[in-house]
Structure 1
Amino acid sequence: MSGDARRIVLLVHPGAEMFGSDRMLLESAIALVESGSRVVVALPSRGLLDRELRAAGAEVVVIPMLVLRKVLLTPRGLPRLFRDMFRGLGAAWRLIGSLRPDVVYVSTIIIPQWPLVARLRGTRAVSHVHEAEASGNRLVNRILYSPHLASQQTLVNSRFSLETLRAALPALARRSHVVYNGVASPDEPAAPRRAIDGPLRVLYVGRLSPRKGPDLVIEAAAQLRAADQPVRLTLLGAVFEGYEWFERELRDQADSAGVEVDFAGFHPDIWPFLADADVLVVPSRVDEPFGNTAVEGVLALRPVIASDSSGLREAAGGYETTALVPAGDARAIAAALTDFRERWDRIVDAVDESRAEALRRHAPSEYRASIRSHLLGATDDAASA
């Protein structure tokens, strides 16, 4: 590539919401726009992410693509799986052929066709793995990871993700690099309350799903209420389509326990909710590749309780203002909430130091520099090959 030619980078992502991997896709796009590259992002639908990407200077195209969801792996879902597979294959082939990008950045493992199509088209691909379930079936993990052997390089978001990948597919792990998520925050987050007057304000942020454990927070709040410790809980998030039954169960659980719960729904801007909270709880029952939400809590000057497992241990560990508890243990969450309340003066005194450490570990500028290095380095290699 000549020095004055403008690079073209194609980013591919399986959704248009604004949860963890969506936010990282946006950060990656911003990094590449800042480099002067032409950045084109392929999505399967319009949404909040689409608008944010265009505001950041990226081009967005909406095309059919195969996105692996559990619903597709059922007898009822198989016709849609085959339809999406063939439509997605053709759309990917045409888009790469028309753009002729210098590199294709494949975000997440659930869009498996893209590394293969890029390879067939003679285009370098970099896969960014945001998923890791060490407790899952190793054969299933190997199947999910294997299409990304067609990529020339793989990025993972934690050491835990790398070790999960190594256990399932060592050949892919050998060409993988850890790039910790960059997590943005307000320049001057609201200070925590100096004293807990009235109910303890507890916040949950994330999908309303059994895997994420919001029911555990309701149960913990019920235990505090039974011990005459007032608590007010906010659940910030929504269900996947088809999981409306779980939200109904959560509402019934809160009503039965007499716990005050605000079902706030999904909001792309979480910072006002963190400003109004005293403590953030991240209670995932299952493995998490990382834990953006936990880092956001620390950056917001709020103490955080997180499950002591998987990538959450890397995200929330090592801070004076965080507590790691056994996954799936509502009693441990309740005990940690009580402990924070009893040590509130010391917690408040330590939140600034915790924020400074989180900024050092997860500055968006560091993440963007890493993405530019891996992606644009790849294009330079391709040009000189």
Structure 2
Amino acid sequence: MSDSQHTSPPGRGSVIVAHPGAELYGSDRVLLDSVIGLVAEFARVVVVLPQDGPLAAELRAAGAHVVIAPAFVLRKRLMKPRGWGELISTAWRGGRAARRLLRAERPDAVYVSTITLPLWPLLARLRRLPVVLHVHEGEASASTLVKKVLYAPALLAHTVLVNSAFSLGVMTSAYRRLASRSTVVLNAVPGPVDPTPPRSTLDGPLRVLFVGRLSPRKGADLAIAAVERLRERGTAATLDIAGSVFEGYEPYEESLHAAVAAADLGDAVTFHGFQNEIWAILDRSDVLVVPSRLDEPFGNTAVEGVLAGRPVVVSDTSGLREATAGIPSAIRVEPDSAASLADGLATVVERWPEMAAAAADSRRIAEERHSRETFQQTVADAVVALALPR
């Protein structure tokens, strides 16, 4: 284990924060805002991560102590028989590390940032510690049994924060009694300070942008196919893809490159890999696409596009519908349909003056809904309310 030597400002007691990754994707950035709020209220905030990474540096800069320790992270691949060996070994190592940290730190509260860390709520409750669980998942398509397994850790939490009404509905469909201890807290989504306005006219190709994990669920392949269809219809378009794969999904990334080659789109599609800072690439784009195939608990990436002053075309599903509600510069399309996504992009081209003009109003709406300061204080208040009696 390793611990930063950063000293936190004075505050109330201490809190342990458990998180399943160390990158800077949507849920990681939300965790960072949660920690910023906690650092303002607690004398010591210890964040436990399974590996080092860019998130760790941001957390240390925010005033948190970072501990790198083994963790049991519930992944889909571990639920299959061939993953059971790894499931048992990681559960043993992760449980042992968590017990040691709880014994050494003796925190006043434990904040768990996702249901994919099921051991933390259990071990904290065994030590009679108050637990706040922040739910970011909304697996509506899962079977009743799977949902009961996934959301079981929430039964051990004293307070449950949920990132959207959609996620709350999915969770309470598994356990109705969780509704009484749950609160919807919309994600904090920081935007650029001074975004470049959209182009006044679309001179040259439409510049399409995809940002996110490269996985079948997120639908980068649909973005490639939609651009191919646009070009076949006579509408010039390019596509920038910013994102990387989870370990084990490398064949999917290879299939994306193969699809680009097969469609002769080498001059139109550019892979940028993971981008820590997305505002520069958003500035160079005309429209952001979020073509998720399956339910999304929320739509952080769509909100980032709106905050950057860009029209967004998103799948008409779950949290993406919620994230773009009332946003005049957003277009929703049929999920898992390259043709529908291409139609949405064609609509952006046809209505460009209207869409570009609506971007400023859309940005103001998103800024108000997703204030970082409000989010940070709400999370901190939830943890303080449980820690104070101790």
State the TM-score bracket (shorter-chain normalisation).
over 0.9
SS in 2 for 1:334: helix
Q: May I ask how many residue pairs the two structures share in their alignment?
A: 379
Q: Give the match for residue 211 of structure 1.
A: 217
Q: Is contact 2:51–2:69 with CA below 8 Å preserved after alignment?
A: yes
State the distance in 2 between where 1:145 and 1:346 align: 43
Q: Does residue 1:40 correspond to 2:75, yes or no?
A: no
SS in 1 for 2:202: coil
Q: Does residue 1:7 correspond to 2:4, yes or no?
A: no
Report the alpha carbon displacement of residue 36 of structure 1 after superposing the two structures with TM: 4.5
| Aligned pairs (5 A) from 1:112-123 | 112-123=118-129
Amino acid at match of 1:16: A
Q: Among 58, 61, 68, which residue is 1:62 paired with?
A: 68
State the distance in 1 between where 2:71 and 2:311 align: 40
Q: Which residues of structure 2 form unaligned runs of 5+?
A: 1-9
State the distance in 2 between where 1:220 and 1:85 align: 42
Question: What CA deviation, in whole Å up to 9, does each residue of 1:291-345 have, x standing for no partner?
Answer: 1000000000000011111111111121110001111111111111111111111
Report the alpha carbon displacement of residue 172 of structure 1 after superposing the two structures with TM: 2.1
Q: Under a length normalisation based on structure 1, what TM-score does the superposition of the two structures give?
A: 0.96
Q: Give the match for residue 104 of structure 1.
A: 110
Identity percentage over the alignment?
50
Q: Is contact 1:68–1:111 with CA below 8 Å preserved after alignment?
A: yes
SS in 1 for 2:132: strand
State the distance in 2 between where 1:337 and 1:324 align: 10
Q: Give the match for residue 148 of structure 2.
A: 142
Q: Does residue 1:310 correspond to 2:330, yes or no?
A: no
State the distance in 1 between where 2:49 and 2:76 align: 19
Amino acid at match of 1:326: E
Moved over 6 A (4+): none
Q: Under a length normalisation based on structure 2, what TM-score does the superposition of the two structures give?
A: 0.95
Amino acid at match of 1:269: E
Q: Give the match for residue 229 of structure 1.
A: 235
Amino acid at match of 2:284: D
Q: Is contact 1:16–1:47 with CA below 8 Å preserved after alignment?
A: yes
Report the alpha carbon displacement of residue 173 of structure 1 after superposing the two structures with TM: 2.8
Deviates more, 1:199-208 or 1:28-37: 28-37
Amino acid at match of 1:287: D
Q: Give the match for residue 355 of structure 1.
A: 363
Q: Is contact 2:219–2:291 with CA below 8 Å preserved after alignment?
A: yes
| Aligned pairs (5 A) from 1:81-100 | 81-100=87-106
Q: Give the match for residue 131 of structure 2.
A: 125
State the distance in 2 between where 1:324 and 1:348 align: 16
Q: Give the match for residue 338 of structure 1.
A: 346
Amino acid at match of 2:375: Y
Amino acid at match of 1:261: V
Q: Does residue 1:194 correspond to 2:189, yes or no?
A: no
State the distance in 2 between where 1:166 and 1:33 align: 31
State the distance in 1 between where 2:307 and 2:29 align: 16
Q: Which residues of structure 1 form unaligned runs of 5+?
A: none
State the distance in 1 between where 2:82 and 2:357 align: 55
Amino acid at match of 2:124: A
SS in 2 for 1:105: strand
| Aligned pairs (5 A) from 1:262-273 | 262-273=270-281
Amino acid at match of 1:10: I
Report the alpha carbon displacement of residue 13 of structure 1 after superposing the two structures with TM: 0.3
Deviates more, 1:125-134 or 1:172-181: 172-181
Q: Please tell me the root mean square deviation across aligned C-alpha atoms, in Å.
A: 1.2
State the distance in 2 between where 1:95 and 1:249 align: 42
Amino acid at match of 2:151: Y
Q: Give the match for residue 26 of structure 1.
A: 32
Q: Does residue 1:261 correspond to 2:261, yes or no?
A: no
Report the alpha carbon displacement of residue 77 of structure 1 after superposing the two structures with TM: 2.1
